[in-house]
Chains A and B, each alone.
Chain A
Amino acid sequence: MNNMSLLNASIAQTLDYAAPILFAALGGLMSENAGVVNIALEGMMRFAAFFGVWGAFISGSPWVGLLWGIGIGILLGILHAYITVKWAGDQIVSGVAINVMAIGIITYLLELVFQTTGYSPPAPYFGAEVNRIHLTFLKNTPILGAFSDLTIFVWFSLVLVIVLHFILYHTVLGLRIRAVGENPRAAETLGVNVFKIKWFAVILGSIFAAVGGMSLSLGTLSSFTNSMAMGKGFIGLAAMIFGKWTPFGALFAALLFAFAQVLQLLLQSTVSGFAKIIPLGFYLALPYLLTIGALIGFIGRAIGPAADGIPYKKES
């Protein structure tokens, strides 16, 4: 019994850790499949994590917070698309700009709105007992029991994987998105509006990243802390590459990274004897070492969409 609940708890925790990484990865692959690199995921998550809490704090409802966060995600998506699609600007540079802005603007707003440094006061959130999704009948089943008490974000991230897979590989829109990412000129000759597709993909991807940011501040925690996103966006980027730009690949990668983190916590608390001597740092570094190891072992070349990162200009 005890082992089973530990197993279930570990799986639930893995899913919880995986959600923000997965959202970031899905956001990244959405826009990169249409040929626009988005390294601003990190900054977008930070923006949305803050705006989500802000909205929830003012209105008293986490749903309003969610809308605020999605709103800022859309705005940032528009900014990134305006720079990279409309003016064919360098996508990496634009991403760096948003990341740097996120550090400055959010710390500024945190002090302005809440008069605090480093963290915000708690706001109503989706992790609260009433807002979690309870499936009590699963509670005592092994493995499936992990799904008995999750936040809305975790469910949404899992559903999104399936939806995105369907859209990208089984609809005309998905075919167009991928065509734009592989060979925009050819797509244009066939009558696809390359710019429209890119705008759509970038903004949609930014919304996913924003939701990922809020899964931290409104899902796992109930407040915004300054060190919140801390690399989650970049790990999401890694998960996207690791998963070879596919939704299910991203899911696998996000689960692997999250599992390595949970494993690290488990090992720290349960091991004895020799493993106890191994310093903390090695356990903390484990997820990242595993990733590099897996990259060397499992996949050789990670090949993205052919026209990924190349600004598209119409021939004049």
Chain B
Amino acid sequence: MKDTLKKVIFGRKEKYWWMNILVPFISIFLAFIVGAIFIKTTGRNPVVAYKLLFGASGLFPGPYWKGHFAEMLLSSSMFIATGLGFAIAAKGGLFNIGAEGHFIVGGITAAYIGYAQPFASLPKIIHLPLIFILAMLMGGLWAAIAGYLKAKRGIHEVITTIMLNWIALYLIEGWLVIGPMKAAVETGVSGTPYISQTAKLPKILSGTRLNISIIIIIIVLYLVWYLFYKTTLGYEIRAMGHTLIFGMESPKASGINVERRTIQTMFISGAIAALGGVFMVLGILFQYPPIFEGGYGFDGIAVALIGQNEPIGVLLAGILIGALRTGATSVQLAHIPKTFPSIIEGFAVAFIALQALVRYWLMKLIRLKKSIPIKIEGDAK
């Protein structure tokens, strides 16, 4: 049981496989230390800052814990969505930085289906799933454009996803929201009209804003894990990712339709990132505002990288980043700007990039203690 679990979660049979798990944790730990040094050098008190940060993060019980906990899970579900979107493409060897665009495409679709008339009078049980399906479809198609151009024309996905991000932003905020989807002037609402009651996500914790988004994203996480490790499609995606940097020949030789898989991977990636936008509109904003508070797409990249592109890692990293963001508003009490968590996030990613160094340190530690038999190492064999 323990062995299968290990294999299933990490899928590696290396000698020092536990390092793969340890590296993200050490990276985060080091990031907090460097963050503390940074606060110290700018003349503020790191202990107070971290106390405030974690006190309001929702991770630990304390005053107003229920509210913080709910807010943490709310934002975590969006970070997990964009992180998972990035991770899926990354597994297939594609660098999809379009999550920002997929996020807003999902959001605007959710807003439109949420308020537009033939849909808005549907019963909730039909309306809500319909929104999810259509928004994910739109987000997926938006990403599939980049996949198509990569597969058929060989255009680098980085460049197309950047362009598509901006195109989505301007078409939505420079046209749809101020044009055809604008709320009627007499309602006094800026942005799109508010979605109907049947489109709002059901709440699961009374007295807070917490809704079913976190449950949905955990189901999606499981499905993605299933896709990766239990289906042929997932196997082929991973095969592509492993070999892409050395040329596309080997997966092709073993009969994988690389072009098709590229488009499919991008579609799934975009559809899941779009989920984040749906959560935002159906659970928090209830409309598409004139200017969308963005950034979830790019933070999703960090979440995926800290989580090493594994579903379980993305879950943990998403919760961590969500918690930091929730706690961030209260670090302002210590006169520290609320963007402070991005600093820790950045350092954590930097240490992930430096994992060769972290591994080198760990190996040194092991060699120092060579006389003492290491139990975990024996397990792995």
Interface residues of A (CB under 8 A from B): 39, 79, 83-84, 87-90, 92-94, 96-105, 107-108, 110-112, 117, 231, 234-235, 237-238, 241-242, 279-285, 287-289, 291-292, 295-296, 300-302, 309-310
Contacts and interface: CB of A to CB of B under 8 A. Distances in A.
B49 to A, nearest CB: 11
A108 B305 contact: no
A96 B159 CA distance: 16
A3 B305 CA distance: 53
Contact of B159 (A89, A94, A231, A237): A237
B356 A108 contact: no
B162 interface: yes
Contacts of A301: 153-155
A238 B162 CA distance: 8
Interface stretch (B202-210, B254-262, B338-346): B338-346
Contact of B155 (A39, A288, A295, A310): A295
A17 to B, nearest CB: 15
Interface stretch (B114-122, B134-142, B172-180, B228-236): B172-180
Contacts of B336: 108
Nearest to A80: B353
Given A93-B352, A104-B340, A279 B174 contact: yes
Contact of B298 (A99, A237, A296): A99
Given A93-B305, A97-B352, 16 more contacts: A83-B353, A87-B357, A87-B360, A88-B356, A94-B353, A97-B350, A100-B349, A101-B350, A103-B346, A112-B337, A281-B174, A281-B178, A282-B171, A288-B170, A289-B167, A292-B164
Contacts of A310: 245
Contacts of B167: 285, 288-289, 292
A79 B301 CA distance: 20
Contact of B158 (A100, A117, A241, A292): A241
Contacts of B356: 87-89
Q: B interface, by DSSP: helix, strand, loop or mixed?
A: helix
Interface in B268-291: none
Contacts of A284: 170, 174
B159 A242 contact: yes
Contacts of B154: 300-302
Nearest to A42: B298
Interface of B: 38, 42, 95, 97, 149, 153-156, 158-160, 162-164, 166-167, 170-176, 178-179, 245, 295, 298-299, 301-302, 305, 336-337, 339-347, 349-350, 352-357, 360
Q: A interface, by DSSP: helix, strand, loop or mixed?
A: helix
Given A89-B356, A296-B153, A281 B166 contact: no
Contacts of A107: 337, 339, 342
B343 A282 contact: no
A300 B179 CA distance: 36
22 contacts: A39-B158, A83-B353, A88-B356, A97-B352, A100-B346, A101-B343, A101-B346, A103-B346, A104-B342, A107-B339, A107-B342, A241-B158, A281-B172, A281-B175, A282-B171, A282-B174, A284-B170, A285-B170, A285-B174, A291-B159, A295-B159, A302-B155
A89 B355 contact: yes
A281 B181 CA distance: 13
B354 A89 contact: yes
A279 to B, nearest CB: 4
Nearest to B357: A87
B149 A103 contact: no
